[in-house]
Structure 1
Amino acid sequence: MNALAVLLGALDDARLTFRTRPALDAHQERLGRAHLRWVAAHSPAVAARFREADLPLARWRELPPTTKAAMLATFGTLNTAGVTLEDALAVGRHAERTRDFTPALPTPRGPVTVGLSTGTSGTQGVFLVSPAEQARWAGTVLRALLPGGLLGLTRRHRVAFLLRADSALYRSVQRAALHFAFFDLLRPLPDLTQAVQAFAPTLIVGPPGVLRALHRQGVRLNVQRVISVAEVLDPDDEEALRAWGPVVQVYQATEGLLALPCPHGQLHLNEAHVHFDLEPLGDGLVRPVITDLRRRTQPFIRHRLDDALRLHPDPCACGRAARRVQAIAGRQDDALLLPAPGGALVTVWPDFLRGALAGVPGLREYRAEQTGPRDLTLLLDPAGPAVTPAAVRAVQGALRRSGADPELLTLSARSLPPPAPGVKRRRVTRSWTPHGGPNDP
């Protein structure tokens, strides 16, 4: 990656720190007009959406949202690099099989990096990025995550990336003063523990479930930042990982770089580059519909995410106008649908259960799974008389506070099996779907 391009990306990002909402909105409108003109001229799928909605490009905020399934169905005409879904999946899956993530995919517009999501929602996502998009991503990330911001680019750092898959997108941050090392999550935990300890990073980046496992293995680090990615950062993980250094998180998905920490450690939506419409879900939660105002290789225009967020009601002490995320409550398809006292189903968001189980003394790890209309299983580590009754009581209390009736449930508990290497941790899941709609138990 051209170091000058990365630096220019960081400098441009520094210029885009807006202090008032009207200034930020005006910036998004300017970006949106120019971006939509280019995308509609080069992406047949995006142009077709505007035609079908009978909307001019200037009314892009009114475009009916699209979804991940629709994105994959139109992948070949959506991306502007002429890449078929089959070719992208072939390159990405070959890289994951061989663990060689260096090859890029040649296209008529130049090489592009291919990445795959974990597919935890049942369908594996695909992302494409160009070298120019990598450079801007790297500049934005470096400015946000390196201690000292732009000055951090001049200081020496040893950065440990613990990831399921390496990518040129992550390696693009490599510079002379920035020694980057990829640690494959498919390695056995004892080997991973030894390698990370020996590397002695000044920054460590990884899923909180993996970082917490290393912490339990006795890894002792003194880092300038612990950076949580890929999974929800729960309060118990954050508290434990503070033993290594200050903890911040990044909200990123196949759909883009969605939120980054400010100098005060608060997570702000990446509104200088991404427009967010927020659909209310109830209980103070919102679901993002995003329009990435920068990505051209694989446009995301009015794309509905499956995540549920809680936004902080108060402005941040950092003074930025971009809204801040109080909590990532979980994926909408992980929200539990459980019977209320009258029998109708109510939604119980994952963060209610995570918050309750985080306070159970002696509980190291857990998973809550809804497998039927009235069936909830707790998988606990450890499971036994010292922990299980307290975990069950905590869950029952959380369900009551959420409007569900635990007396109408079969609530069972057993031991949590060891996690498979490289599998994304999901502490609350629902594998059952009501056939007759959300009010049919």
Structure 2
Amino acid sequence: MMKHPLKRIKKIWAFVTGFIRAKHYQKTTRLALLKHQTQAFNTFKSQTLSQSSYYQDYLDSPLTAFPVINKKIHMENFDRINTAGLSREKALEIAITSENTRDFTPSYGQYAVGLSSGTSGHRGLFVSSEIERSEWAGYMMAKALPHYYRSQRIAFFLRANNQLYESTQSLFIQYRFFDLMTELKTHINALEQYNPSILIAPASVLRNLCLLKPNIQPKKIIAVAEVLEEHDKQKISTFFGQKVHQIYQCTEGFLGISCAQGNLHLNEDNIIIEKQWIDKAQQRFSPIVTDLRRTTQPIVRYLLDDVLVEDITPCPCGSSHTRIKSIEGRKDDVLQLKNEANENVDIYSDFIRNTIVANCQHIDEYRVIQTHSDTLTIECTPYSSDNTQAITAGLNVLFNRLNVRQPQYRFQPYTAPNKGEKRRRVIRTFK
């Protein structure tokens, strides 16, 4: 008889703990933040990693002695890494069935299971307990809600739903999932009737909503899942008449969120981020993530394919958390062209995006795909001689400035991603 009330109390306490922690560490000093990380990791080792057979040999070691892993390694060792005795095959079966049926309520016992989109070539699992979901909800609400003491209606446009997101629902919070596997325009009537106070969607969906002009008045706009490009950001901001915020979340954790000033910060009260430098002079790095709050599926020194650019300028919000200037995409979004010495030179996707937008004022959509060491396939809408000539001229100037050989350009009309796929502007398919 007492089991249910006790369980409810634990969930409420987890929610409150997540909420308070998010508020407490927002304005702490950098030194205090690092001290908190050290203490939290030691607790994490003794309470969580001690339950994982994969990490038994490292319990007496510092974080730097733990192995750096990626999605492939993590998935291959999922059964040994998780602390609940979960089977990867069974978890995948549940997640894939949910994807196919569009019913995201089934769980693996008390654990919610989600599936990543697999843009890196490997699909990842996300497993969370009820307590973890409650704590995440409290933390997320403290970070994301414009006025957490008022009732809110959240509209969430994503490829897949998850009980993690549903955990934000409460007496004062309504949550509605809009499935991106369904045609966007078919959601407009329901969206207008719901009239969300918070609108959360990938950048490309937010931009397409602007074109459909729904009659809604959200108090906060949050872009997720895709790179938020500056020209899209301006169009979305102009249509809705407010700043566009970002949430940096993936199957590996809730990694970052915009502050009140609209600048993206890493959630370093919950995670430790080590930097694998790609271009230290320009502050480009790939993050190595250790999540201090994941207890069912530990994330320890997990190398992401993302390319982040740090902004070392102090933020006016006063946060000591690392400030991110931009998320440029994945490492596969970095092109490689040859210089005169026949050496590979990295061409960052931000260079390509900015060049195309700066030279084509009337372009609606585009994609650049490097299919060979000296060939770029460029899709665009409108597909016109004016746009193809402007793109060619702009890229030639860029490549001359970077001292690389000009590639061959193959132009064709833009093809939209399949429903539910993330939009990627710049892609390198050849290795």
Q: TM-score range by the shorter chain?
A: over 0.9
Using the alignment, how far apart are the partners of 2:243 and 2:284 within structure 1?
27
Asked whether the equivalents of residues 18 and 24 of structure 1 are also in contact (C-alpha less than 8 Å), the reply is no
Using the alignment, how far apart are the partners of 1:18 and 1:202 within structure 2?
26
Q: Within the alignment, does 1:47 sit opposite 2:42 as a pair? A: no
Q: Deviation per CA, 1:151-178: give whole Å up to 9, x if none.
A: x232122211001001111111012222
Using the alignment, how far apart are the partners of 1:91 and 1:122 within structure 2?
20
Asked whether the equivalents of residues 338 and 404 of structure 1 are also in contact (C-alpha less than 8 Å), the reply is yes
Asked whether the equivalents of residues 89 and 126 of structure 1 are also in contact (C-alpha less than 8 Å), the reply is yes
Asked whether the equivalents of residues 164 and 185 of structure 1 are also in contact (C-alpha less than 8 Å), the reply is yes
Q: CA deviation at 1:64?
A: 3.2
Asked whether the equivalents of residues 14 and 132 of structure 2 are also in contact (C-alpha less than 8 Å), the reply is no
Provide the alpha-carbon RMSD of the alignment.
1.7
Asked whether the equivalents of residues 224 and 246 of structure 1 are also in contact (C-alpha less than 8 Å), the reply is no
3-state secondary structure, aligned to 2:170: coil
Asked whether the equivalents of residues 163 and 183 of structure 1 are also in contact (C-alpha less than 8 Å), the reply is yes
3-state secondary structure, aligned to 1:212: helix
Q: Deviation per CA, 1:74-109: give whole Å up to 9, x if none.
A: 000100111111111101011111111012211xxx
> What's 2:5 paired with?
none
Q: CA deviation at 1:18?
A: 4.2
Q: Within the alignment, does 1:95 sit opposite 2:93 as a pair? A: no
> What's 1:235 paired with?
230
Q: Within the alignment, does 1:256 sit opposite 2:265 as a pair? A: no
> What's 1:268 paired with?
265
Using the alignment, how far apart are the partners of 1:43 and 1:204 within structure 2?
38
Q: Within the alignment, does 1:209 sit opposite 2:204 as a pair? A: yes
Q: Deviation per CA, 1:336-393: give whole Å up to 9, x if none.
A: 1111233211111111111222222111111110111111011101110232211222
Q: Deviation per CA, 1:205-247: give whole Å up to 9, x if none.
A: 0100111112122334322111001111110111011121321
Please give the TM-score of this superposition, normalised by the length of structure 1. 0.91
Report the residue type matching 1:77 in the other structure.
Answer: R
Q: CA deviation at 1:398?
A: 3.2
Using the alignment, how far apart are the partners of 1:400 and 1:114 within structure 2?
48
3-state secondary structure, aligned to 1:183: strand
Asked whether the equivalents of residues 22 and 143 of structure 2 are also in contact (C-alpha less than 8 Å), the reply is no
Q: Within the alignment, does 1:430 sit opposite 2:428 as a pair? A: yes
Q: Within the alignment, does 1:383 sit opposite 2:383 as a pair? A: yes
Asked whether the equivalents of residues 309 and 329 of structure 1 are also in contact (C-alpha less than 8 Å), the reply is yes
Using the alignment, how far apart are the partners of 1:226 and 1:400 within structure 2?
39
Using the alignment, how far apart are the partners of 1:198 and 1:400 within structure 2?
53
Q: Deviation per CA, 1:34-58: give whole Å up to 9, x if none.
A: 101223321011224x3xxxxx634
Pairing of 1:41-190 with structure 2 (within 5 A)? 41-48=50-57, 50=58, 57-106=60-109, 111-147=110-146, 152-190=147-185
Q: CA deviation at 1:430?
A: 0.8
Using the alignment, how far apart are the partners of 1:7 and 1:284 within structure 2?
36
Q: CA deviation at 1:394?
A: 2.5
Q: Within the alignment, does 1:421 sit opposite 2:419 as a pair? A: yes
Using the alignment, how far apart are the partners of 1:70 and 1:419 within structure 2?
28
Using the alignment, how far apart are the partners of 1:12 and 1:33 within structure 2?
18
Using the alignment, how far apart are the partners of 1:136 and 1:314 within structure 2?
31
> What's 2:303 paired with?
304
Q: 1:401 to 1:217 in 2, by over 3 A?
A: farther
3-state secondary structure, aligned to 1:355: helix
> What's 1:411 paired with?
409
> What's 1:30 paired with?
39
Asked whether the equivalents of residues 367 and 416 of structure 1 are also in contact (C-alpha less than 8 Å), the reply is yes
Structure 1: gaps spanning 5 or more residues: 51-55, 434-441
Using the alignment, how far apart are the partners of 2:368 and 2:208 within structure 1?
19
Q: CA deviation at 1:268?
A: 0.5
Count of aligned positions: 417
Q: CA deviation at 1:331?
A: 0.6
Using the alignment, how far apart are the partners of 1:233 and 1:213 within structure 2?
13
Asked whether the equivalents of residues 287 and 306 of structure 1 are also in contact (C-alpha less than 8 Å), the reply is yes
Q: Within the alignment, does 1:200 sit opposite 2:200 as a pair? A: no
Report the residue type matching 1:391 in the other structure.
Answer: I
Report the residue type matching 1:171 in the other structure.
Answer: E
> What's 2:319 paired with?
320
Using the alignment, how far apart are the partners of 2:62 and 2:275 within structure 1?
17
Structure 1 moving runs of 4+ over 6 Å: none
Asked whether the equivalents of residues 135 and 172 of structure 1 are also in contact (C-alpha less than 8 Å), the reply is yes
Structure 2: gaps spanning 5 or more residues: 1-7
Asked whether the equivalents of residues 383 and 412 of structure 2 are also in contact (C-alpha less than 8 Å), the reply is yes
> What's 1:12 paired with?
21
Greater CA drift, 15-24 or 166-175? 15-24
Please give the TM-score of this superposition, normalised by the length of structure 2. 0.93
Q: CA deviation at 1:28?
A: 0.3
Q: 1:186 to 1:133 in 2, by over 3 A?
A: same
Using the alignment, how far apart are the partners of 1:413 and 1:137 within structure 2?
45
Q: Deviation per CA, 1:93-132: give whole Å up to 9, x if none.
A: 11111111012211xxxx1111100011111011111111
Using the alignment, how far apart are the partners of 1:137 and 1:222 within structure 2?
27
3-state secondary structure, aligned to 1:187: coil
